[in-house]
Chains A and B, each alone.
Chain A
């Protein structure tokens, strides 16, 4: 059974810092991996999707990497801003891609 872990559970950084969020998964037979953002009281917003054949994806100040062989993904946020404060979740899709397995998230606080 696929398990997805995100460490740390919470992270607080000063504005302007570059930071890395981590995601690890136990079964490397994935189809893709997605990073989501969740604001308090809201649903999830998809940030980046990396196919299993890709090594990374970039969108603005966000860069996500994928290393299937080691079962790891990272989300890099450059020049963090208070508006980046949210919970970030990663989710992996198996080969059948019918069900996502989610991590429990990292709650990020960017201090002004």
Chain B
């Protein structure tokens, strides 16, 4: 019953450091998404992918990069961490764009 798995669960970074947030799903879903959620706010889409080798920008892509080399994995990379990227990051997947999305438990990221 793994579903969508995100690692790490928590991370503290210094300004300017880089890191990769990992996301993997075992449901053979084509669609995968990265969101960020700031306190008291809804989720905002960073990037999404409709299949291996295909990615596209969401509402707030600046400062992030993604890749989708396999159906299962959709890592999110921060190249030069900035305090504005302190947030909770959620990965989600769906069988196709109009179906319910399944979410991971999130990665809580603080940049100091």
The tally of residues in A whose CB lies under 8 Å from a CB in B reads 24
Report which residue of A34, A43, A49, A100 has the largest number of chain B beta carbons within 10 angstroms of its beta carbon. A43
Complex alpha-carbon distance, A97 and B92, angstroms: 15
Interface window among A12-20, A61-69, A76-84, A101-109: A101-109
Verify A43–B42 contact, CB threshold 8 A: no
Complex alpha-carbon distance, A61 and B56, angstroms: 38
Q: Mark A37-49, 1 if CB is under 8 A from B, else 0.
A: 0000111111001
In which size bucket is the chain B interface?
20 to 34
- Given A43-B90, A43-B103, A44-B90: A98 touches B48 (CB 8 Å cut-off): yes
| Residue of A whose beta carbon sits closest to that of B91 | A43
**B105 interfacial by beta-carbon distance below 8 Å:** yes
Verify B103–A104 contact, CB threshold 8 A: no
Verify B59–A104 contact, CB threshold 8 A: no
Which residues of A pack against B, CB within 8 Å?
4, 9, 31-32, 34, 41-46, 49, 89, 91, 93, 96-100, 102-105
